[in-house]
Amino acid sequence: MSFEKLDKLGTKLHALSHALAILGADEATHMAPGGGEARAEAMSVLSGMYHRESVAPEIADWLDAAEQEDLNGDQQAAVREWRRRYIGLTCLPPEFVERQTRASMRCEQLWRDLRARNDWAGFAPVLQEVVELERERAARRGEVLGLSPYDALIEMYDPGSRVEQVAPVFEELKNFLVDFVPRALEVQEKRREKSPTRPLSGNYPIEKQRELGLAMMAAVGFDLTHGSLSVSHHPFCGGVPTDVRITTRYRTDEFLSSLMGTLHETGHALYEQNLPKEWAHWPLGEARGMSMHESQSLFVEKQIGRNPAFWQWALPLVEQHLGESWSQDEILDHVHHVERGLIRVDADEVTYPLHVILRFEIEQELIGGSLEVKDLPEAWDERMKRYLGLSTIDSPKDGPMQDVHWPSSAFGYFPSYTLGAMMAAQQWSAIKREMPDLDEQLSCGEFEAVNDWRRTHIWSQASRWSTPELIERATGEPLNAKHFREHLEERYGS
């Protein structure tokens, strides 16, 4: 049977992707600095092998034949996802994949050093090569898929999303937030006039912060026998479902930024650890796009981790590991802190979407060719001033150099963050309807019921449904931004 051939191929590709994922996670965390060039070459070769196996001409025949075979529902869905994957991968020749992998890995390696030195002049030519290859990839994919170049990149991360649907939603949200940010800041100022802020500063050893993070990871459902926590320049969730590698970064003068980063990546990890094991070697067994993935990470960080009820349970844990006693009001003053800032990963719930929208708009111009890399600092600065009233013109490390996404060729990814925030708020609303005592559960450190809901409605479904179908089946309605706006207004607007 042709399906059996696809199944056997899936097992082989799964092994290659496993190796690439672990090598990539190690490269970003534990690899010696001198190993970069050889690691890039090894991963380039493995990526080429994976691509060649994935685009073999006979696979088209197997797919045609498998669609005519007597398959069960899971197998039919698997064939559908295999075809979608095959079409996407055959857009690009193997030599291009190797060239792009090599360029992006070297760019990312250089970025870590050059960003620390605020060296835009040294970074721009390297990023230019990545952007040129990204334009080529976008054009090749767009021609085959019948999409605009930037839509062809978004499709890689969030199948079905299109600029024509996303842009109006983001424009509406941007207009709302530009007005809402000053309102939230005013509410915050009035609250602090009545109760002054207790400074979040001190000496917090990294090891103690790490133990606190591990305790919270385990409590919210992370399986420490199938995952680990490390340090990297930029927090991420990598590895494979059976060996999830999440990272954070620490500051010794405060503990919240690392803790929230850890909770965010734990949300990604929970999705990966709870995908159907029987589908692991099929495309069907993968998470359904990055907006859904971001909804799971943001759910843990925002809906749970910034919930007042969560901190009723968490504060004794903070005292146990860090030796500090905080009242709920004192810690929430920081957890719900709103501030116009330069760094996306440190941004609060209210300002964060403006960081994403800025990148979404600039990416379209870069890929479309109306903006060149050399002009990025000025373009970034102009939007930062307009949206958040801040300037980055003298600090590119806080502007177009701040994220790992562009050095690593992840153009088209950024919209997923804010789409994910909307989905997370909508899932929370659906769970609250079913579990009116949800806050009481969180205050007692009980996360099983909320995880069971997500396991049933999101995690176990993997890629069986499109993103719009999945969110509607899970929550009972199509994606509706009102849940996100109501969430922000309730938490920050009064």
Is there a contact between 367 and 139 (Cβ–Cβ < 8 Å)?
no
The catalytic residue among 98, 265, 286, 363 is: 265
- For CA atoms 18, 405, 416, 370, give the dihedral sign: negative
Gap between the Cα atoms of 333 and 325, Å rounded: 15
Q: Which two tokens stand for residue 350?
A: 């209210």
What tokens does 18 get? 């496993």
> Residues 405, 414: contact at Cβ < 8 Å?
yes
Q: Could you write out the DSSP letters of every residue in 414-431?
A: THHHHHHHHHHHHHHHHH
**Closest Cα to residue 273, out of 303, 235, 239?**
239
Q: Which of 318, 313, 334, 302 is nearest to 212 (CA)?
A: 318
Task: Write b or e for each residue in 136-147: b if 16 or more Cβ atoms lie within 10 A of its Cβ, otherwise e.
Answer: ebbebbbeeeeb
| Tally of CB atoms within 10 A around 254 | 16
- Percent of residues in the chain assigned helix, strand, coil, to nearest 5: 70, 5, 25
Q: Is the CB of residue 204 less than 8 Å from the CB of residue 255?
A: yes
Look up residue 14 and give its amino acid: H
Identify the DSSP state of 305: T
Distance CA 335, CA 312 (A): 13
* Cα(87)–Cα(80) distance, integer angstroms: 11
Residue with tokens 């080529």: 136
Active site residue 265: yes
Query: Measuring CA to CA, which residue among 362, 444, 438, 455 is closest to residue 405?
Result: 362
Other Cβ atoms closer than 10 A to 290: 25
Active site residues: 265
